[in-house]
Amino acid sequence: MSTAEINWTCSEENLGGASMDFQLSALSGTWAEDNPATNLIPILVDSEYQAMSEPVSPVRVEVLTQLQAHGIVSEYITYPRVTFSSASRLCVRHSPPGDSSRQSLTLLDPRASPKEDQAPPNWTLHHVQGALANPSCPLLAVRAGQLAQVYDVDQRSLRYQWEFAHPIEYWVWLNADILAVVTEEDVFHWTVKRSGPSWQFSRHERLCGMEVVGYQRDASHMWMALSALGLEQSQVVGLTQLYWRGGPLSQVIEAQAVSLPQHRFSRNPKPSTSLLAAVRRGKEQAGQFHVVELGPHQPGNAALLSARDTLPFKGTQLGDFPSAVQFLPHLGVVVILTKHAFLFLADVETAQTIHRIHLVLDILFATVLDDERPHSLLGVCRSGKVLSISICPYALCQYISHHPTSLCLSQRVLQLVGQIPAPQKAISVE
């Protein structure tokens, strides 16, 4: 990659965390340690969710790789220096071992084992503030200040660039073509192969001074959610700005982690967009998980649904909070992850918590769905471990039979298990 066009000054980013109060009637219309032999991590299952005769945990965790084995120094394995664009594209902004004066970008596939005779793709750059690999194309986006540039990885040449009116604070690839860019004042969508970005909406004043850590857009392109974290009285707090293009309408809610998936609820003939939001307020021992079916109402569907349940944070780290919400559509199950690597499974139809486990004694700060493995996601830990986290439908079915939750969830899982080949041997957590 040429460095002639990139002559920037470096600034450091900080990470904050969050909380939720729902009043969306104006928007939706209604509310009412690692085992070297097996590479499996020992998991602590909460006794509150496994007090009966013990079935196998539905969660399996495996270490795919250690970032230090790819030449990444431990001090650089932090948010936002490590970013996941897809399960096969991890980008690290770091300095090589023994040379802190030089900044590099390394791209790697976390599933691939490090090779002694072949280093992962690496570029030496002047100071940049952010880097994102395209989720499916050989493109690499870098930014500093108001300038965003997109490079061709294979040709190592500049392909596209744009200078925004205000400094860029956050960005994410929405797909292979569109880069969402959040500046100090506005949110843009930039189709990089076209002339320039298109304005979407302005940031709410309540997010001023907070660090933007997430941006979501639903499949209908009508709903968007911008999440930011900050500190309030030494506690991590967070706000999410929910925006609807149909109004346009905008509202800020307390939420540390959200998702905007589409799901066809069991009582509906048509799918709809749902807001999935998790929150923990301050030092409270119970957080909350909210499921809200967003409008507009689809003809033939039942009335818009809303549900909530508690997230038991008892026994977790004092400052722990939800950091990511991922939806597994084929199971109808929501995965809620926390900063200190706790995992909650919840039912998307009732918001009911199904299961809680502690994945590993570590900080988990980057996750992405694994498109190549069903019911799976990947995560990066502060220690450098890259984890594969999978939900086994068969074990989930057994677990639900011992811990009854909702009839809808049981029926969905049973139907799925009947449609996929049975495993040759049971999956257990060691």
Low-confidence ranges of the chain (pLDDT < 50): 1-38, 47-53, 424-430
pLDDT of residue 43: 54
Under 8 Å between Cβ of 274 and 348: yes
pLDDT of residue 283: 78
- For the entire predicted model, the pTM comes to 0.84
pLDDT of residue 421: 61
User: Which domains does the chain show, CATH number per domain?
Assistant: 25-419 (2.130.10.110)
177-186, Cβ contacts within 8 angstroms, sequence gap of 24 or more: 179/132, 179/141, 179/148, 179/150, 180/215, 180/217, 181/148, 182/212, 182/215, 182/226, 183/146
pLDDT tens digits for range 210-253: 999 999 999 999 999 999 999 988 888 999 999 999 988 999 99
Under 8 Å between Cβ of 232 and 199: no
pLDDT of residue 259: 98
